[in-house]
Amino acid sequence: MLAMRDRPSALGFGLGLRPQHYGEILDGNPDVDWFEILSENYFARGGQPMRMLDAIRERYPVVMHGVSMSIASTAPLNMDYLASLKALADRVNPHWISDHLCWTGVHGVNLHDLLPVPYTEEALSHVADRISRVQDYLGRRIAIENVSSYIEYAASEMSEWEFVAEVSRRADCWLLLDVNNVFVSGTNHGFDGNQFIDTIPVDRVVQFHLAGHSEGNGHLVDTHDQPVCDEVFELYGEALKRFGPVSTMIERDGNIPPLADLVAELGRARAVADSVFGSGTTADAA
Amino acid sequence: MTTGGNPGLAELQARMQAAILADSPAGDALALIAEPEGNTPGERLETYRSAYRIRLVSILREEFDALHAFLGDEEFDALALAYVAACPSSTPDARWYGKRFAGFALSTQPWGKHPVIGELAALQWALSGAFDAADAPVMQMDDLAAIPADAVAGLRLTFHPSAGLLERKTNACEILTALRSAAEPVAPSTIDDGSAVMVWRGDNRARYRIIEAEEAMLAREAMGGQDFSLLCEMAATMADLDTAAMRVASVLRGWIDSGVLTGVQLPA
């Protein structure tokens, strides 16, 4: 039985580590509590990327975040991928490892996208079983992230939040709650983000993602190339009220600004947390 | 397995993927999608379809930025989209998606008629590989001095994981140098002098240099596992016999200085 005390300690306020910022991080010791690395960027590599990662690891806690586990795919689990992930984890010693509740391809193809699943009992059983197998292989719980989606399947038998919550229970995994993804999918599919948040088990959530999105053709698209919008910060405040102090970070993958801009944006997340918990209490509460 | 007349998960994923990869949206995927507010299912599906192409072209633009600058947006994207259509990604790591790009450009018309395109892509790909190749200790001059004299003839060189050799039929290397230094553009031309391009990592940077015919031959053979005595014999066929061993030794010192070698294998 999972207890709240099993949940990893909150790390504070972090950023996604991007190569553009290596120098600024090492030269400036920015006011960032931790970094999330993209696991695939460091698979079986040497040279400067690993050297930079090693240097940053010495100063900051690190978590690993992947985009290619394809946990919901009906293709066999990619054991080479998992071996690389395990080897990297052995070297990096991350606080946790995460990936997305999605599939990225079948029949040997990788679409390099985070495709949603139909919220069916079949998919639920399939995904929970695969998460369990991955956790057994890695010897640790992983955190699974809700994705942004632009479609809903006619086959779905339950809501996304019911699906996510039940996956976490059946697989006994952590959850990475992407607040922007809740907002994007909620806007695209006409649900209230608070309803999503209020259904997710509190003891499962180890991390929040914040990110920006763009206006698509009549719907929102999860582009990570804009600042976090007001509505997402507002929803983040609601999430903090439900889940308490949870490790929070901002993802930026396009139009990447100088590190100082992201640190300033992270300051806004700190301010939201201060408004929920009282100034200066977030680190202690962790 | 099917539920309530809906396809099972495997069939759903296969149909969705086919619709994303296809030149035009497949109708049988549209039936999988619930009617959204404010859009048609086709418009929502199109977001995934266009994002797929934009993402892969963007990966290629970033990986082959010099070739992109050389060709310009329109020509580069035409090549990139042809590659995306012909070569779906099979790698979990987008970093490796461009692995077959140079070969595709060399073997597919109309780009194949201009081998400088494929060679520039191959050079950039090799440099990317050198940049983050596995780490390994680099051979030092002292290591060379420590080799027993009677073992020299049979020794084989071990190259650093970042080291590579590219044959060249065009001046792609000079074009890359001009692009990187913002110098005057260099017009494409053919090369047929036996020279090649050596690629490696030094001081955490991917490096390249043109090597003349004799050094190119020595690199080719040494990377193929030939021993020092054979390298000397081959050098003797290319220029003055009496100085062949000295010339090979000089090349060897240059490789050690630049960090191309990790060590030597002594004869059993």
Contact of B45 with chain A, judged by CB distance below 8 Å, is answered with: yes
CA distance B122 to chain A (A): 20
DSSP, collapsed to helix, strand or coil, labels residue A224 as coil
As a whole number, mean pLDDT of residues B66-86 equals 97
User: Per residue in A21-44, pLDDT tens?
Assistant: 999 999 998 999 999 999 999 997
- Which residues of chain B make contact with A216, given a CB cutoff of 8 A? 47
Helices (H), B22-155: 27-30, 41-63, 65-71, 73-86, 101-107, 115-131, 141-145
Instruction: Say yes or no to pLDDT of B74 above 90.
Output: yes
Q: Indicate the helix (H) or strand (E) that contains A15.
A: strand A13-16
Instruction: Say yes or no to pLDDT of B245 above 50.
Output: yes
Contact of A223 with chain B, judged by CB distance below 8 Å, is answered with: no
User: Per residue in B173-208, pLDDT tens?
Assistant: 999 999 999 888 899 999 999 999 999 999 999 999
CB pairs under 8 A between A and B: 150
Using CA atoms, how far apart are residues B44 and B176, in angstroms rounded to an integer? Answer: 41
- Cβ of B47 within 8 Å of Cβ of A157? The answer is no
Contact of A107 with chain B, judged by CB distance below 8 Å, is answered with: yes
Pairing of strands A97-100, A205-210: unpaired
Chain B residue with the nearest C-alpha to that of A50: B132
Using CA atoms, how far apart are residues A12 and B160, in angstroms rounded to an integer? Answer: 41
Q: What is the pLDDT of residue A279?
A: 76
- Which residues of chain B make contact with A54, given a CB cutoff of 8 A? none
CA distance A283 to chain B (A): 35
Regions in chain A scoring below 50 on pLDDT: 283-286
Rg over alpha carbons for chain A, rounded to the nearest Å, is 18
Contact of B146 with chain A, judged by CB distance below 8 Å, is answered with: no
Instruction: Say yes or no to pLDDT of B248 above 60.
Output: yes
Q: What is the pLDDT of residue B2?
A: 45
Contact of B96 with chain A, judged by CB distance below 8 Å, is answered with: no
On whether the CB atoms of residues A102 and A117 are closer than 8 A, the answer is yes
Stated pTM of the model: 0.92
Using CA atoms, how far apart are residues A168 and A146, in angstroms rounded to an integer? Answer: 11
Q: Which chain B residues in 176-215 lie under 8 Å from chain A, judged by CB atoms?
A: 201, 204-205
Q: What is the pLDDT of residue A280?
A: 63
Query: Which among A68, A150, A187 is the top mutation candidate for probing chain B, defined by the most B β-carbons within 10 Å of its own β-carbon?
Result: A150
- Cβ of B34 within 8 Å of Cβ of A151? The answer is yes
Using CA atoms, how far apart are residues A158 and B193, in angstroms rounded to an integer? Answer: 68
- Cβ of A155 within 8 Å of Cβ of B94? The answer is no
Average confidence score pLDDT of chain B: 93
CA distance A123 to chain B (A): 7
User: Per residue in B14-62, pLDDT tens?
Assistant: 999 999 999 886 678 999 999 998 899 999 999 999 999 999 999 999 9
- Cβ of A151 within 8 Å of Cβ of B44? The answer is yes
Instruction: Say yes or no to pLDDT of B3 above 60.
Output: no
pLDDT category at B234 given cuts 50, 70, 90 is: confident
- Which residues of chain B make contact with A114, given a CB cutoff of 8 A? none
Nearest to A216 among B33, B47, B136 (CB): B47
